Amino acid sequence: GAGVSQSPSNKVTEKGKDVELRCDPISGHTALYWYRQSLGQGLEFLIYFQGNSAPDKSGLPSDRFSAERTGGSVSTLTIQRTQQEDSAVYLCASSPGNLGETQYFGPGTRLLVL
């Protein structure tokens, strides 16, 4: 596709349930990033992939959060046992992978935990 796509666009879940968020990066982009945008915390980095490896997971807020990337393309962010404080917009971005390259953002997944 022309840009980064994310699904679902909106997700409502009950506290304690697991959720999976998907990101399709721009074709050929080797670097992929997950960020979270919330009212209280602004825009926060979560995890960075280069190919299928994650050299920087420093932003994951707890062990309930995990992410994987397969085939150097699609990535899935999984949140287990969701809590109300996980409610946020989850943004995915990709870049060609060369140092200093621009990151292109997807439209985000809005997650609401009731």
Q: Can you tell me which of 26, 31, 67, 79 binds another protein, judged by CB under 8 A?
A: 31
Q: Are 104 and 26 in contact (CB under 8 A)?
A: yes
Q: Can you tell me which of 56, 62, 80, 83 binds another protein, judged by CB under 8 A?
A: 56
Contacts with another protein in 65-104 (CB under 8 A)?
91, 93, 95, 99-104
Q: Minimum Å distance from CB 44 to another protein?
A: 8
Q: Can you tell me which of 21, 25, 29, 33 binds another protein, judged by CB under 8 A?
A: 33
Burial, 99: exposed, middle or buried (Cβ in 10 Å; 0-12, 13-18, 19+)?
exposed
Tell me the three state secondary structure of residue 84: helix
The verdict on 32 binding another protein (CB under 8 A) reads no
Q: Minimum Å distance from CB 74 to another protein?
A: 18
Q: Which value, to the nearest 10 degrees, does the dihedral of the CA atoms of residues 21, 69, 48, 58 take?
A: 80
Q: Can you tell me which of 12, 15, 16, 43 binds another protein, judged by CB under 8 A?
A: 43
Query: What CA–CA distance (Å, rounded) separates 113 from 84?
Result: 5
